[in-house]
């Protein structure tokens, strides 16, 4: 085994790229769950975003338009979920699972003519002297726009939930929809907006996979990333910065195990492949092991249907 083939700087730089899809999907789901809705359709919305983004980027040769289309695609699909669960009061778990299956199927149909095509490349940002810094420049300041957008979304969501009235109302709706309704807040409208935001974020995450990380279209290319995003939200105790830690940890181990496989480590490939999932969940479980505190940050009305009766 030749460990010297693994360059720590390249490894650290690529972990941010590997983590960004999950990061985007997870922060969107965090907002949805904070509003009291459990949308298990993240995987489906991601893959719809992946194909929408890929198709539009190929047709227009503009990755930016591709990302916008991906966000729209994810949001439109999430509105299907929103309409079913919030207006027709269907079961959120079942509807979310159906959404994943529907998204996977629809995306392979939409993507038939795009298999094997190469996506237009997304340029890295040139941050001038910052990008030229040794080590740090390579790790932090030589990525494409979406990596920074994803971190900005994390910071924005954190600020919104913690300091703004919008965030307070959102948390209140997730905490007790009956009390929020009694105070005159529009529970269903707020939840629909949150679901739409979650769908757009998941779509962006999917497009990042198909346009930057891979970058091409293959059926089922999300490969469970949506599920790991869901798990990260729970184990991060619904805290935005912890979601980022979880996503980067997952991305980091994914990259590391790929490098180890390439370097011919004497560990069975199956073990290496499962390690990102295993280690991420393990670490986050340990972080959130104080059950009393975890129960405090969980939205109390998560997954409950709201019906304004009498």
Partner 1 sequence: MTELLKISGLTKAYPGVVANDDVSFTVAEGEVHALLGENGAGKSTLVKMIYGLVKPDSGTMDLHAAPYTPSEPRAARASGVAMVFQHFSLFEALSVAENIALGMENPPKMHELSQRIRDVSETYGLPLDPDRLIGELSAGERQRVEIIRCLLQDPKLLIMDEPTSVLTPQEVDVLFETLRKLSAEGTAILYISHKLEEIRALCDAATILRLGKVVATCIPREQSAREMAEMMVGQALHTPKASGAEPGDTVLQVSNLSLPSATPFGTTLTDISLDLKRGEILGIGGVAGNGQDEFLNALSGETKTAPDAVQFEGQPIGNLGPNERREIGVLCAPEERLGHAAAPDMSLTENAVLTAVQRKELAQNSFVNWGKSRDYAKEIIKAFDVRTPGPGNAARSLSGGNLQKFVIGREVLQNPDVLVVNQPTWGVDAAAAADIRQALMDLAAKGAGVIVISQDLDELMEVADRFCALAGGRLSSSRPTQGLTVDEIGLMLGGAHDAEQEAAPEAEPTHAE
- Residues in 273-302 that interact with partner 1 by CB under 8 A: 292-293, 295-297, 300
- Considering the complex, what minimum distance in angstroms separates the CB of residue 174 from partner 1? 9
Distance between CA atoms of 174 and 56, rounded to whole angstroms? 35
Candidates 11-19, 137-145, 167-175, 262-270; binding stretch for partner 1 (CB under 8 A): 167-175
Decide: helix, strand or coil at residue 216. strand
In the complex with partner 1, the residue whose CB is nearer, 12 or 176, is: 176
For residue 75 the two structure tokens come to: 């949001």
Could you tell me which stretch among 74-82, 105-113, 173-181, 258-266 binds partner 1 (CB under 8 A)? 173-181
- Per 3-state DSSP, the chain is made up of helix, strand and coil in percentages (nearest 5) of 75, 0, 25
One residue of 89, 179, 271, 285 binding partner 1 per CB under 8 A: 179
What is the length of the chain?
310
Nearer to partner 1, 28 or 299 (CB): 299
CA angle (135 as vertex; 204, 272 as ends), nearest 5: 60
Look-up of token digits 């740090």: 136
Q: Quote the least distance from Cβ 183 to partner 1, whole Å.
A: 5
Exactly one of 16, 25, 180, 212 binds partner 1 (CB under 8 A); which one?
180
Q: What count of other Cβ atoms lies within 10 Å of the Cβ of residue 3?
A: 10
Residue 89 sits in the site that holds partner 1 (CB under 8 A): no
Cβ proximity to partner 1: between 171 and 304 the closer is 171
Which neighbouring-strand residues pair with 168? none
For partner 1, the closer CB: 152 or 189:
189
Stretch that binds partner 1, among 84-92, 111-119, 166-174, 256-264 (CB under 8 A): 166-174
Binding mask 107-126 for partner 1 (x = CB under 8 A): --------------------
- Contact at 8 Å (CB) between 169 and 175? no
Helix (H, G, I), strand (E, B) or coil at 239: coil
Burial of 177 (0-12, 13-18, 19+ CB in 10 A): buried
Given 79, 175, 214, 287, the residue binding partner 1 (CB under 8 A): 175
Q: How many residues bind partner 1 (CB under 8 A)?
A: 21
Unique residue bearing structure tokens 């670490």? 283
Which two tokens mark 133? 């810094």
Question: In the complex with partner 1, which residue's Cβ is closer, 252 or 299?
Answer: 299
Angle at 243 between CA 241 and CA 244, to 5 degrees: 65
What is the C-alpha separation between 171 and 168, in angstroms, rounded? 5
Contact 224, 47 (CB under 8 A): no
The correct pick among 123, 184, 266, 289 for binding partner 1 (CB under 8 A) is 184
Min dist. Cβ of residue 295 to partner 1 (A): 5
- Closest to partner 1 by CB, 112 or 297: 297
Per the rule left: phi > 0, alpha: psi between -120 and 50, beta: everything else, 264 is: left
Q: Which residues pair with 124 in a beta bridge?
A: 144
Among 169, 265, 279, 283, contact with partner 1 (rule: CB under 8 A) = 169
CB of 305 to partner 1, least distance (A): 15
For partner 1, the binding residues (CB under 8 A) are 165, 168-169, 171-172, 175-176, 178-180, 182-185, 292-293, 295-297, 300, 310
């Amino acid at each position: 085994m030749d460990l010297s083939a693994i360059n720590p700087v390249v490894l650290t730089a690529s972990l941010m790229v590997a983590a960004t899809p999950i990061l985007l999907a997870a922060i969107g789901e965090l907002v949805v769950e904070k509003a009291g809705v459990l949308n298990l359709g993240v995987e489906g919305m991601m893959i719809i975003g992946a194909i929408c983004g890929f198709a539009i980027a190929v047709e227009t040769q503009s990755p930016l338009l591709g990302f916008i289309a991906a966000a729209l695609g994810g949001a439109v699909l999430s509105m299907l979920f929103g309409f079913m669960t919030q207006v027709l009061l269907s079961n959120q778990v079942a509807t979310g699972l159906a959404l994943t299956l529907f998204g996977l199927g629809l995306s392979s149909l939409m993507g038939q003519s795009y298999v094997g095509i190469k996506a237009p490349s997304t340029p890295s940002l040139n941050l001038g002297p910052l990008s030229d810094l040794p080590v740090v420049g390579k790790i932090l300041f030589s990525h494409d726009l979406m990596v920074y957008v994803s971190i900005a979304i994390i910071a924005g969501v954190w600020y919104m939930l913690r300091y703004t009235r919008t965030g307070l109302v959102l948390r209140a709706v997730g905490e007790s929809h009956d009390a929020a309704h009694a105070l005159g807040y529009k529970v269903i409208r707020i939840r629909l907006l949150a679901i739409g935001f979650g769908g757009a974020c998941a779509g962006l995450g999917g497009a990042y996979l198909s346009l930057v990380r891979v970058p091409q279209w293959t059926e089922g290319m999300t490969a469970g990333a949506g599920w790991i995003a869901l798990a990260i939200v729970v184990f991060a105790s619904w805290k935005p910065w912890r979601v980022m830690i979880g996503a980067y940890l997952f991305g980091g181990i994914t990259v590391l195990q790929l490098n180890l496989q390439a370097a011919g480590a004497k560990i069975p490939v199956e073990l290496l492949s499962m390690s990102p999932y295993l280690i991420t969940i393990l670490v986050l479980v340990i972080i959130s092991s104080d059950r009393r505190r975890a129960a405090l940050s969980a939205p109390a009305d998560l997954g409950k249907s709201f019906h304004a009766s009498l």
